[in-house]
Chains A and B, each alone.
Chain A
Amino acid sequence: MGKNKLALHPLKKREIKDVARKGITYISALLTLLLLTLIFVHIAQGGGSLLSAELLTSDYASLTYTYESSAVSSYYAAPSASDIAFSSAWGVGLKDETSLTGESVVSLVYLAPSSPMGKLSSEVKVGAYFTKAFFQDEAGNNVIALAKDGAKGVIETFEKGKTLTSFSITTKGGGIRASLLSTLLVIAISLLLSLPLGIGSAIYFSYFANKKNPLVRLLEKMIAVTAGIPSIVFGLIGVAVFIPFSSLFTGVNTGSLLSGCFTLVIILLPSIVKSAEEALDEVPKDYRTAALALGSSERQALHKIILPSALPGLLSASVLAAGRIIGESAALVFAIGNVISDTVSLSGKNATLAVEIWSLLAGENPNYRLASAIALIILIVISLLSLAAKILTTVFLKKRGHV
């Protein structure tokens, strides 16, 4: 570098070094922010287009339905959209599209309000994929419209048909209703089981225990060590312990949502205990002394004064625990399974949202769009939860007069 050849005043050299050093810290910080933005933006781009109420409420499986009919053709006005193939005899608009899995499909994009197709079933709706239809033409011959004819070809056949014999459509599928429901169920039950245990332990350590007692310290150490265990190992324990255990309740010998919940309980315990303990330690010791001096017992002081006072902090700990559950994947692959079925029950092996993402990635043809859509949902929920936890802690500390 040229700089070495110039005999710079040593002070100037130091100043240049300082600027470079400071620059590095600015760049580092910027990179960190950039990273966060990149992750969010990329996921939003990848899956945002898929986000809809339909995604959240429909089934994953793509099912084909066939309906018998004897409807006759009539006349229906064409819709204003110009790029769809429209059958004026039946009031149906079709379009060639590519499904999420990359196949070419003929999608039902318009249905006239009084079209006989629409009256067949609620499943015949905009968004469904046309499969096939049997008609009889004016001369009484059978004509068949098949999806592989393409939208235009199908409509041509439609226009020839005078009477409809049968009509088949295939649902879009790719919905995450089941995974969503499974996740919510798992969160609810896991929190129900782990929060009392975790907060109870925290109460013991913060309020009742004598910290100088080596047994107490041993208990604390044991919980602290559990915090460092990778979640996949908890998954193994789920298989070894909780699957047999929960078969007592569910009657099945395989992974189930219930065994997943139990596994999550031991995963969550250390962090719940830690944050609940912090929340309890924030409550001034004077509250307890004052309550006792007024004649109440330790338990009354705890339930009537200390716990209500620590409530925001405890809520914050719960919110964080919920966030952790949503994101847990490795353990649940083992403890529940990764079946993407559309029936949800405690004994089912439904994949939760996070597990579904992993499952989609692990296959041969990863469905990146769906994975990103699910990831987006998770990211949004987690951001909201983190924000909520932060607000709760700030409210909490403000009450103490700390902020």
Chain B
Amino acid sequence: MVILGKIALGVFGTMVAGVGLICSEGFVTVNVVEHQPEQHHIFVMAPAAIMPITARFIPADKFDKAARQLKPYMPTIRAAMDALEKTDDVTLVEVKNAEEHVLVRKVGGSVIVDVDDHDDHVHVSTPIGAVESTIEQIASSQSSAAWTTHSDGSNDDEDRDTQ
């Protein structure tokens, strides 16, 4: 009986620790509300830690083009994300016209995008750390086939970086 209790406690403890770990990077929330008379409402909330983990399981060749395009800008992206994380809460961009209202804000440790137009209101909130990890994952997930290695050991991406 004591052994069963220990096993149950172990399983429970592992589950709690696992959930805590998964939730440690915060949550990605997507909220879509339609302005139609027959209103539809979509609300999705997922642990942000699964974003880079999911990206890891996507075959590398699917990200070849994205990885090649991202790689030269990674120092800038890293600097931007680090600085954004450290800065106070701020409305980064706001665009208003007769058709729509777009708002991009940094609140706490998240980037929040709100788009309001005639049809619907879309709200997306993503922790900055998760965005950075996911971009890092995509940038590093280049398949070996996409690397054209020259005789001097350099490759196309290194060439582009040094330009």
Decide whether A and B assemble into one complex. no
Residues of B whose CB lies within 8 Å of any CB of A are none
Residues of A whose CB lies within 8 Å of any CB of B are none
